[in-house]
Structure 1
Amino acid sequence: MIVCFDIGGTAIKGALAYAVDDVRPVPRQPTPIHDFAAFVSVLQAVIDQAGERPERVALSIAGIIDPDTGRAVVANVPCIHGRPLRQDLEAALGLPVLVANDADCFVLAEAGVGAGRGHRVVFGVILGTGVGGGLVIDGQLINREGGFAGEWGHGPVAATQAGNPPVQLPRFQCGCGLSGCIDAVCSARGMEKLHAHLHGTTLTSEEIVSTWQAGDAAASRTIDVYVDVLTGPLALVANVTGTTIIPVGGGLSNAEALLVAIDTAVRSRILRKFDRPLVVKAECSVEPGLIGAALLGLYAD
């Protein structure tokens, strides 16, 4: 049995995991974002509920473990930001601890019990507040020791000319400090910036998608350009990783027609040809971070 957690800036979700198909959530608790001792106490309280000593503790965090220093980069929970989190928690809890990024846990969940079941290489994608991803090969995260693998949303690679007919695009500024990232133009907020740039009007991403599906010409142009910008880099990722399935999570994944358009464009741009969808909606829509953390602990050597 392992104890797993999905750490958010507002709440800590916990569960006791006995097997892949036996993950038992416990009531969530507010996250003590400024007090590390209180943070540890919340974890310890869940561990105590188990009634037995777990093999290990596994955490999903909305951040990165720097592979060179082992320190956590977690902006929304200041009390763990900058800490050698694994070592500090192992010392405080007296148990082995595993820590992974929430997007990595999402992909691990999809590979284990979601849309990626039966696939040796699974590259998962988040399209929502940000653009992220993760890579699982043979059931194991590439980022087992932390790191930035799977972060395909960042890097100055966004097209400056896209759509049919082509339109010139700026290199939008990204929150990571670079310009021209896929995250800056293909996240939900990025789609909104793209629409405003093309048409001079402001709509939410939900409104853009819904009016596109209703046949609106301006929204259709935005989606045409959006899909063109997104799918070139995603096709490259598919070629590089050899993934045979790309589960998509995040708010934009709820638009089935958008995923179909992305899938069609990606499959037309990759070397390997598939006669079935490659880009698909994620199946673990409920608590993927917690499920992924459970699998991270259960699959550990």
Structure 2
Amino acid sequence: MTNFKRGFHGIDIGGTKIELVAFAEEGDRLREVHRERIATPGTDFAEFTAAMQALIGRADAALGMRAAVGVGLPGVIDSATGRQLSSNVPALNGRMVADALRGVLQRPLAIGNDCQCFALSEAQGGAADGMATMFGAILGTGAGGGFCIDGRLMRGLNGVAGEWGHWPLAAAQLAPHGLPVYDCPCGRRGCLERYVSGPGMRRMHLHFSGKDETPLAIVARAQAGYEPARHTLDVHLDLLGHALASLVLALDPHAIVLGGGLSQLAHLYEKLPAAIGRHLFPGVRTPPVLPPAFGDAGGARGAALLARQQLNDSL
């Protein structure tokens, strides 16, 4: 087996699959050496940790060394207890995932939010490579993100920097569009992700048209001239533009990179900059809104980069 100076395993954990990508460090670059996907053990925590241990063992063999590990997890980690919250993997909810994995793996381990890992991947070698600051905005089953400065992920006191999907929309912002204030599974009401995510767009379209259709179908219907679908897209753009304008005023990123399923919708790149600009005061420029360079493959890469960032910080 070939030996490299350092190696990093990046792991992206989803509700149905776990993807591991093993990288060899070559200067500032990470070169992919090994990739594997397995089904996520969704209900049994012991089975989950055993599967992770076996997966990483095979990656070590492919890389030729015991490598540091970065893990991108859905949901958030309780900063006071270290327990995993709001995960779409039932086996992980309420568990001390980091402690358990460190116990079985016996190596450096970095754990971050999957959305933060996406942002880090796009900040280093991705769509926002070389930019002083960037925000990675996930628009998938939920809305989350991450903020990077000079290619480094900024995590904050509680590790939740970038959780813009749980900023609340005021009733006054929803009333002009005839929208109710929806409850959010996080326990709050009116959270942005209930409107601007993929299911949020679908929920609004059902409200306006009485039809339950996917975002792709809504776009196709709008292009065919169906007025309720056009209205859904107009309202979605306005609410998303308002949300991202708030991000611009709070963080002033040099670029916004979209991720998640809605990042595939071409009209967002055409119309979103103007929608953001309408909610900014004169003299504030709208940053470019960019498609992701790595698509849905960035999570594991970002997790590996997070492991490298944490290891470098400890040296």
TM-score with structure 1 setting the length: 0.89
Cα distance in structure 2, aligned partners of 1:35 and 1:162: 41
Cross-structure match for 1:221: 231
Kept after mapping to 2: 8 A contact 1:57/1:98: yes
Cα distance in structure 2, aligned partners of 1:48 and 1:131: 33
Cross-structure match for 2:23: 17
1:28 and 2:34 are equivalent in the alignment: no
Local SS of the residue matching 2:235: helix
Cross-structure match for 2:4: none
Cα displacement string for residues 190-234 of structure 1 (whole angstroms, at most 9, x for unaligned residues)? 212222322334433222111223333222222112211221121
Cross-structure match for 1:250: 260
Cα distance in structure 2, aligned partners of 1:228 and 1:150: 20
From 184, 190, 195, the counterpart of 1:174: 184
Cα distance in structure 2, aligned partners of 1:262 and 1:159: 22
- Cα shift at 1:80: 3.0
Local SS of the residue matching 1:100: strand
From 5, 8, 13, the counterpart of 1:2: 8
Aligned length: 298
Query: Aligned partner of 1:118: which letter?
Result: G
Local SS of the residue matching 1:23: strand
* 1:102-251 matches, cutoff 5 A: 102-143=114-155, 147-158=159-170, 160-161=172-173, 166-251=176-261
Please, which moves more after superposition, 29-38 or 92-101? 29-38
Q: List alignment gaps of at least 5 residues for structure 2.
A: 1-6
Cα displacement string for residues 142-188 of structure 1 (whole angstroms, at most 9, x for unaligned residues)? 2277632211111322564569xx53322122232322121111222
From 290, 299, 303, the counterpart of 1:280: 290
Cα distance in structure 2, aligned partners of 1:100 and 1:63: 9
Distance 1:173 1:144, change over 3 A: closer
Cross-structure match for 1:38: 47
Kept after mapping to 1: 8 A contact 2:49/2:100: no
Query: Aligned partner of 1:106: which letter?
Result: F
Cα distance in structure 2, aligned partners of 1:185 and 1:74: 18
From 48, 51, 54, the counterpart of 2:57: 48
From 70, 89, 93, the counterpart of 1:81: 93
From 292, 305, 313, the counterpart of 1:295: 305
Query: Aligned partner of 2:275: which letter?
Result: A
Distance 1:61 1:167, change over 3 A: closer
Cα distance in structure 2, aligned partners of 1:294 and 1:229: 33
Query: Aligned partner of 1:83: which letter?
Result: R
Distance 1:197 1:160, change over 3 A: farther
Cα distance in structure 1, aligned partners of 2:211 and 2:181: 19
* Larger fraction in helix: 2
Kept after mapping to 1: 8 A contact 2:42/2:91: yes
Kept after mapping to 2: 8 A contact 1:61/1:74: no
Please, which moves more after superposition, 152-161 or 132-141? 152-161
Cα distance in structure 1, aligned partners of 2:297 and 2:157: 23
Kept after mapping to 1: 8 A contact 2:121/2:302: yes
Local SS of the residue matching 2:250: helix
Query: Aligned partner of 2:42: which letter?
Result: I
Local SS of the residue matching 2:184: coil
Cα displacement string for residues 75-117 of structure 1 (whole angstroms, at most 9, x for unaligned residues)? 3333333232222211211111110111111111111121111
Q: CA RMSD of the aligned region, Å?
A: 2.4
Query: Aligned partner of 2:50: which letter?
Result: S
Distance 1:76 1:198, change over 3 A: closer
Please, which moves more after superposition, 79-88 or 114-123? 79-88
